[in-house]
Amino acid sequence: MNVDFIFDFASPNAYLCHKAITELEKNHEVKFNYIPCLLGGIFKLTNNQAPMIAFGEIPNKMKYEFDTAFNRFLKQHQIKNFCMNEHFPVNTLLILRGAIVAQKNNFFESYVDVVMIGMWERSLKLDNAETLHELLTQYDCPADLLIEQISNPEIKAELINNTNQAVEKGVFGIPSFFIDDELYFGKESLREIKDMLLESSETF
């Protein structure tokens, strides 16, 4: 089974999904196709808002979403290294363009791992080339190549195109997933996807 994963490093829920996806791919016949998209662009195109803005005046919902449900997911998936980024929200335009560069130069998986660590385990402010270069160098990613290509017009255009296409398919937030053309939204959707994988394996 192939699953498209619409993500932005800006979302802590995208980090949680990334960690859970690693285990799903290890234990099931599934491959997640990561598609970097700009969450701010998705919000703008769909007239949506970040949950902290949309529900900021509903304290019980905020407590459930960002405390109860969040910590439940951490426990269920044995995610131990998460820390809320002290600079949140971080402008992720640069590191998303970097993801496109990494895709084109065959180090996408390692790049995503490293940037997720930087954002959600080390609490780095990855909105500038200097900090990104330093992080990538520490993990032996080709930092010079990435910084050299990150401002190319075709890189910028591809990120915009990814974002527009996601919205055209029905995306309104992140994390989002597609199986064929069917949309699944939110980190809890991984439970549905896992159930589908289990059902599929039982038919063979």
SS (H, E, C) the chain: CEEEEEECCCCHHHHHHHHHHHHHHHHCCCEEEEEECCHHHHHHHHCCCCHHHHCCCCHHHHHHHHHHHHHHHHHHCCCCCCCCCCCCCCCCHHHHHHHHHHHHCCCHHHHHHHHHHHHHCCCCCCCCHHHHHHHHHHCCCCHHHHHHHCCCHHHHHHHHHHHHHHHHCCCCCCCEEEECCEEEECCCHHHHHHHHHHHHHHCC
The answer to whether residue 11 is catalytic is yes
pLDDT at 198 over 90: no
Domain range for 118: 2-202
pLDDT at 127 over 60: yes
What span, in angstroms and rounded, lies between the C-alpha atoms of 126 and 132?
6
Higher per-residue pLDDT: 131 or 57: 131
45: which 2 tokens? 């195109």
Residue-level pLDDT at 201: 65
Residue-level pLDDT at 81: 96
- Determine if the peptide bond prior to 89 is cis (ω within 30°): yes
pLDDT at 71 over 60: yes
Residue-level pLDDT at 203: 47
**84 dihedral zone (left: phi>0; alpha: psi -120 to 50; beta):** beta
pLDDT tens by residue, 162-190: 999 999 999 999 999 999 999 999 999 99
Residues recorded for the chain: 204
pLDDT at 82 over 60: yes
Residue-level pLDDT at 80: 94
- Give me the CATH number covering residue 68: 3.40.30.10
- How many domains are there within the chain? 1
The residue from 11, 110, 123, 200 that is catalytic is 11
